[in-house]
Amino acid sequence: MSARINKSTNTTTRAAGKRHSLMGRLIRLSGLLLTAGALASCATGRIDPTNPVGENAKQIDGIMRLSGYLATAVGIFVAVAVVLVIVKFRERPDDDPDELPEQIHGNKKAELTWTLIPVVMLVFLAVVTIPGVFDLSGKGDGRTIKVEGQQWWWQFSYDVDEDGTDDIVTANEIVIPVGEEVNLEIQSNDVIHSFWIPQLNGKKDAVPGRVHHWRISSPVPGIFYGECTEFCGLSHANMQMRAVVLSDEDYNNWVREQLAPATTPTAAAAKRGYDLFGRHCVSCHVVNGLYESAAGGNANLTSGYAPNLTHLMTRTSFAGALFELYKDDGSVNVADLKEWIRNAPGQKPSRPDNRQGMISFAETLSDSELDDLVTYLMTLGGPPPLMPS
């Protein structure tokens, strides 16, 4: 009699312990899922893949949402099935712990069901997705802009006259007219990069020796943010970009300004800065009409290119779009621009000793010389047609 009571008590204790352990695991799993959901809902700063604006981005978003809905349905079904199995086949206090449950070998209906349903869902997704993949990879009817990735910034070249010559060359900010689907010819001058402005389209790799076609467009003016999404070295995380979408009038005005060559300044400080630029900067940077020795990929860098500075002040950012060129009040961000020239490797990790990134001028230029050089740079165009909000 005592043995039966002890056995029953031990069985009840084991069952209670298992229920407590199961409850603890479910609570921890719920906490993990809630944390994951909270992290997934966090904003990524200015880069927002959840708010597509361009038609291509909306097409990708639609496919991703459809996949997400199907995955959610499958996840809910599996979770409900698991809970039902746990509840129905849980160990009960009066169960004999040494007794095995009924053994069933195979169930063709169940096996066919859980095989055919995923197959049908995957075929459906393929039918929806594959045409979109080919459509996104196709070339549109609009103008073409050449996109070149290098460590660690982006160059954009425009053949305005369609004569095979790059009439406009700018850095880190691609400027396009509103409502027009623009073709991109994406390539790399050093290692593999990946072009991504999520509100306008998905990712497209930039590969040395190859040209990949892509398209972007926006139905509304604005500034849209992107970044390199292929690890490309020391400052990969600082290789950002912006797409500036302008009204037709603003875009035409921007093109006219970009086509105008720079002129020699006459003010004393700017003239001194102009001379300093000629002594220290022309081995890498180009100013159309004045300093063009580094044109055509002749810069003293692994990629062969450095940002063209002809119309620097018409941009909203510098240093791979890492720093704002203007403050909130519209004035030039002189402090950061000066510090960038003084010690670029200290502001953005790079390897100037390996011809990757801008060198430091901390031991070369005095404070007054830095002021003069910044004064000259401030004469190079401006202001930009749109400011970041």
User: What's the CA gap between 13 and 230, in Å, rounded?
Assistant: 55
Contact assessment for residue 342 and residue 361, using Cβ atoms and an 8 Å cutoff: yes
Partners of 184 in beta bridges: 145, 214
User: What's the CA gap between 27 and 35, in Å, rounded?
Assistant: 12
How many CA atoms lie within 13 Å of 131's alpha carbon, on the beta-carbon side?
A: 6
The total number of residues written for the chain in this structure:
389
Per-residue pLDDT of the chain (389 residues; tens, 9 = 90+): 444 445 444 544 554 555 555 555 656 666 666 665 555 554 456 888 889 999 999 999 999 999 999 999 989 999 999 999 898 888 788 878 788 777 777 788 888 888 898 899 999 999 989 988 888 877 777 789 999 999 999 999 999 887 777 889 999 999 999 999 999 999 999 999 999 999 999 999 999 999 999 999 999 999 999 999 999 999 999 999 999 999 999 999 999 999 998 999 999 999 999 999 999 999 999 999 999 989 888 888 999 999 999 999 999 999 999 999 999 999 999 999 999 999 999 999 999 999 999 999 999 999 999 999 999 999 999 899 999 87
How many CA atoms lie within 13 Å of 186's alpha carbon, on the beta-carbon side?
A: 25
Domains of the chain by residue range: 1-30, 46-92+107-255, 268-377
pTM of the model: 0.81
Contact assessment for residue 146 and residue 213, using Cβ atoms and an 8 Å cutoff: no
Q: What's residue 21's pLDDT?
A: 57
Burial environment of residue 387 by CB neighbours within 10 A (0 to 12, 13 to 18, 19 or more): middle
Contact assessment for residue 259 and residue 266, using Cβ atoms and an 8 Å cutoff: no
Contact assessment for residue 282 and residue 257, using Cβ atoms and an 8 Å cutoff: no
Residue 61 CB neighbour total at 10 angstroms:
17
User: What's the CA gap between 298 and 318, in Å, rounded?
Assistant: 21
Domains 46-92+107-255 and 268-377 share a fold: yes
Contact assessment for residue 217 and residue 147, using Cβ atoms and an 8 Å cutoff: no
Which fold, 268-377?
Answer: Immunoglobulin-like (2.60.40)
Instruction: Tell me the CATH number for domain 46-92+107-255.
Output: 2.60.40.420
How many CA atoms lie within 13 Å of 13's alpha carbon, on the beta-carbon side?
A: 6
Q: What are phi and psi of 240, to 5 degrees?
A: -110, 175
Q: What's residue 20's pLDDT?
A: 53
For 366-379, letters b (16+ CB in 10 Å) and e give eeebbebbbbbbbb
